[in-house]
Structure 1
Amino acid sequence: TLDIPGQTRSKVSPDGTISRRDIASKLVIVMVGLPARGKSYITNKLTRYLNWLQHNCQVFNVGNTRRRDNADMGPESNPLPDSPASGNSGETSPSALEHHETKHKASFFSPDNLLTTALREKWAMDTLDELLTCVIDGDLSVGIFDATNSTKARRKKVLNRILERSNSQLKVLFLESICSDPNIVNENIRLKLSGPDYRDMDPDEALRDFVGRLKNYERGYQTIGEDEEKIKSFSYIKMIDVGKKVVTYNVEGFLASQTVYFLLNFNLAERQIWITRHGESKDNVLGRIGGDAPLTERGIQFSKALARFISYKKQDFRRSQLENFKSRLEIKIKNRESTEEVKPPDDPIFTVWTSMMKRAIGTAEYFPENEFFVKEMRMLDELSAGRCDGMTYAEIQEKYPLEFKLRLENKMTYRYPGVGGESYLDVINRLRPVITEVERTTDHVLIITHRVVSRVLLGYFLNLNKSVIGDLDVPLHTVYCLEPKPYGVEWCLYEYDETTDWFNKVEEDSLSNKKKVEQVNISFKERQYSVVPTTGPSGHYFKDSTNTGNNTN
């Protein structure tokens, strides 16, 4: 069935979220692929997207189960040798494990190592059972089983366990990540070496170990084949080189189709995403929400400076890009590696997207057409306040006290009364194509929009819980810079200074109102945090801020 939070309603699901008892609408995604093939990158982005759409999703990682069951189970300073000392059987005896403090190395992952194969199988099934308990008996809508699942026998066992525990109700989607691009693999290996298995190891030893682990996995790896298509209820997606090619088979269900749609729009291009509100408008000065007022003189001054600043940052990004390319090229030459296929990176095009409201269009007016491609999008319009449009918050509180109270209790689900009135969930729904296009494009993007839309967009990129999005502060005349990375999104914030007519980077210790917030759960029983600016009693987060505009929306 189709369930979309804030957009659908039924007796079983009055708020549009998938109910606990509607197991047939839930989904289990089973990852397949060798290490360093982008599985974690894919699962993290997919989880962030589904959670942003308000479909509860978590990743259940077998490696985390292994590390949790035994803190010594991981290669560190005294790992096992790649080849067992006892012969060529590939088996590691319990006494050998004990002698080496059970800190296994690449041989632990050998398909010939019967003892550790059984142990790894136990960890995999334990992890899967945790996932199924959360999906079947809990509020989770999507569970992602993150493991190599590299053999047909393992995949069949996983499918049977899921169908058995859910009485054949749960949808199952296998997602295989195949990577033939050596540059992507090498970058993923570098990221793996900074992970929990290797953070305390000598770098050279860690690299040798991981390469050995890869070879052991490769020996037993079986890609998803046509014979598995004959299995009832077997559906899969194959992602090749992180989205350059996508193959699907027998995909069923709403959540599975949403997953495929999102996975078709991946790329690893280096680029920047900028998000800002329009310049100060006449309604901002009067404290009125909504409306379609033009810019003030201060708003025009900000807009002119914004065009100069973004043009400067575009050139700065290109300089850094070419310097990094030169450094990588010099390393290859020094190591006597082939440079035949090494080409300088493309200079990304810079696009500017605005809403269709006067104050946003006016803010983009000063971007030169020979440098920037400007497009107006109705999806970026501010949240509609319905019959409250054009009013101040004091007027709303006086005329509609109940509405004012309900909105403060839950900004995410509250919908303004009257024709066209919207909620945050409505804004999320209409921003879906914007997010898809941002993920798809290899261009730099500057988004000139409004307070609520900015909050919702930042909530996606910063992986924020819905309880935090409504308090995220985005004052006038500030601009966020976001850079997608393989491990997440790096961000920084710039504030416009009227006295210098330029932008200054805002350091974390200069935020007078900030909050350490837990990100939306990515991995089961793991926690990650972000420090984000939030609205304070005065409506500003900057010390000695001169920004105007009520920030209680």
Structure 2
Amino acid sequence: MCLTICKLLCVSVYLILFVSWTVFCVRTCCQTQTGISQVTHYAGVQTFELPSVPQFCNSPTMIVMVGLPARGKTYISKKLTRYLNWIGVPTKSEACAAAALKDVTAYFTKEQGQVAVFDATNTTRERRAIIISFAKEKGYKVFFVESICDDPEIIAENIRQVKFGSPDYVDRDIDEAMEDFIQRIDCYRASYMPIDDERDRKLSYIKIFDVGNRYLVNQVQDHIQSRIVYYLMNIHVTPRSIYLSRHGESELNLLGRIGGDSGLSPRGQKYANALATFIKGQNIRDLKVWTSHMKRTIQTAEALGVQYEQWKALNEIDAGVCEEMTYEEIQENYPEEFALRDQDKYRYRYPKGESYEDLVHRLEPVIMELERQENVLVICHQAIMRCLLAYFLDKPADELPYLRCPLHTVLKLTPIAYGCKVESFFLNIEAVNTHRERPVNVDINRNPEEALQTVPDHI
């Protein structure tokens, strides 16, 4: 009965809020029942069976990387961890060792984690059997991600980009590091047993061939695994840069009013022209330009003289009843709401409006398309730019609403092996400051002076 109710709840909420990941069952339900792990041997080869512990809808998931070194496993695991945390699924990456398995238990039970990513080779069936046995005893789900690559050019590029920037090879001679790493690959290759499509048909996994030229997906168990598969099928390793810019300064920016759909100020128009000159000077191959549906981003893009694509998902956060109000007016008319937003800016939702958490959900299709594309210029808004920046820089939810995204500044994001390189370009066109820091006093009963302490200057 409990399992049936859980499934119904999961299905109903999934249909209503496609992008939410909420715990519905009591965690102890899936941890108080333990089963005996079973590993069957056929002709000297282990065959893994389905978990003996009932898998409830909120069972934590262990994502296990599989593959030889220099196959992009760390790149995949870091991106996947970053993505899951960004959409609100608490995720942690671990090295695959006995101590790490104990850490996983603590992470799932004490820290309320939902996903653990094991970034290691896991090339033997014995090693994978240990992980599966552990997961069965605890009632965790297991999803394997195997990266298979036989293209020598891709492997050589992975070695060049990843290993020479790896902490393992700091201050090491390049030739020495290359020789050492190739020896490591040969050592692992001798004992490597890929996931077998027939013997392991009951396992949940995705195989990625030659960094995305082909995929094989098997036994996806639930909503979170389907999202993982969808994400992994969208990412690529082609070198590219993403340019983020807010629109030029708007008329409402000058007045200190939030939201609205005003046009550019004279300085905002100057920025649009300066942006066009800057982009032209970058000599970007096959650049795509995206804007929101709002006037100020469209007017900024018009100066580029190129085609652009409008995304409603890139529209600024909806301030609801507070649209086109100044912070002073919000404090005067809705002092309690103003304080509540300061207490939890990420989750606070404007009356009849949106929260930053809502924006993250709204922007997930944008992130997926950004991962599919190569060079893109996104002309957007302050709250939108904060959400996108938090994804690429792996910033937590409590920092996201306070990321600095000044007007008339371009951020160039270049994905690299272990993160994202950020370059900032101020285009020398003055603009008002729209950044408001969190005030010291966030109590509902604070006085107006304390509430307005960090409001930026405006006309």
TM range (shorter): 0.7 to 0.9
* 2:220 paired with 1:251: yes
Other-structure match for 1:484:
415
Other-structure match for 2:148:
178
Picking from 475, 497, 502, the partner of 2:406 is 475
Cα separation, partners in 2 of 1:457 and 1:366, compared to 1, 3 Å: same
Picking from 288, 301, 307, the partner of 2:270 is 301
Name the SS of the counterpart of 2:302 in structure 1: coil
Other-structure match for 2:174:
203
* 2:414 paired with 1:495: no
Other-structure match for 1:354:
291
Picking from 194, 214, 225, the partner of 1:223 is 194
Other-structure match for 1:107:
none
Give, in whole Å, the separation in 2 of the partners of 1:397 and 1:538.
Answer: 13
Other-structure match for 1:423:
355
Other-structure match for 1:533:
none
Picking from 33, 42, 45, the partner of 2:79 is 45
Give, in whole Å, the separation in 1 of the partners of 2:154 and 2:325.
Answer: 53
Residues 192-341 of structure 1 aligned to structure 2 (within 5 Å): 192-231=163-202, 234-313=203-282, 315=283
Give, in whole Å, the separation in 2 of the partners of 1:366 and 1:48.
Answer: 34
Picking from 292, 302, 310, the partner of 1:365 is 302
Kindly indicate whether the alpha-carbon contact (under 8 Å) linking 1:18 and 1:141 is maintained by their aligned counterparts in 2: no
Deviating more after overlay: 199-208 vs 469-478:
199-208
Deviation at 1:275, TM superposition (A): 0.8
Cα separation, partners in 2 of 1:230 and 1:310, compared to 1, 3 Å: closer
Aligned length: 403
Deviation at 1:241, TM superposition (A): 1.6
Other-structure match for 2:384:
453
Name the SS of the counterpart of 1:129 in structure 2: helix
Deviation at 1:230, TM superposition (A): 4.3
Kindly indicate whether the alpha-carbon contact (under 8 Å) linking 1:9 and 1:16 is maintained by their aligned counterparts in 2: no
Residues 197-255 of structure 1: per-residue CA shift (max 9 Å, x gap)? 33254433332222112111101111111233344xx1110011222211100011111
Deviating more after overlay: 198-207 vs 397-406:
198-207
Kindly indicate whether the alpha-carbon contact (under 8 Å) linking 1:177 and 1:242 is maintained by their aligned counterparts in 2: yes
Give, in whole Å, the separation in 2 of the partners of 1:131 and 1:291.
Answer: 46
Give, in whole Å, the separation in 2 of the partners of 1:195 and 1:267.
Answer: 20
Deviation at 1:422, TM superposition (A): 0.2
Q: CA RMSD in A?
A: 2.8
Kindly indicate whether the alpha-carbon contact (under 8 Å) linking 1:20 and 1:139 is maintained by their aligned counterparts in 2: no
Other-structure match for 2:61:
27
Other-structure match for 1:56:
90
Name the SS of the counterpart of 1:467 in structure 2: coil
Give, in whole Å, the separation in 2 of the partners of 1:243 and 1:185.
Answer: 14
Kindly indicate whether the alpha-carbon contact (under 8 Å) linking 2:408 and 2:429 is maintained by their aligned counterparts in 1: no
Deviation at 1:268, TM superposition (A): 1.4
Cα separation, partners in 2 of 1:439 and 1:9, compared to 1, 3 Å: closer
Give, in whole Å, the separation in 1 of the partners of 2:403 and 2:391.
Answer: 12
Name the SS of the counterpart of 1:447 in structure 2: strand
* 2:124 paired with 1:187: no
Deviation at 1:288, TM superposition (A): 1.0
Picking from 394, 406, 415, the partner of 2:328 is 394
Give, in whole Å, the separation in 1 of the partners of 2:197 and 2:19.
Answer: 40
Cα separation, partners in 2 of 1:224 and 1:243, compared to 1, 3 Å: same
AA matched with 2:82: R
Name the SS of the counterpart of 2:402 in structure 1: coil
Residues 96-115 of structure 1 aligned to structure 2 (within 5 Å): none
Deviation at 1:549, TM superposition (A): 6.5
Bigger Rg, structure 1 or 2: 1
Give, in whole Å, the separation in 1 of the partners of 2:407 and 2:252.
Answer: 13
**Structure 2: 5+ residue stretches without partners:** 1-9, 31-55, 438-452
**Structure 1: 5+ residue stretches without partners:** 63-123, 318-347, 502-512, 515-536, 541-547
Name the SS of the counterpart of 2:423 in structure 1: strand
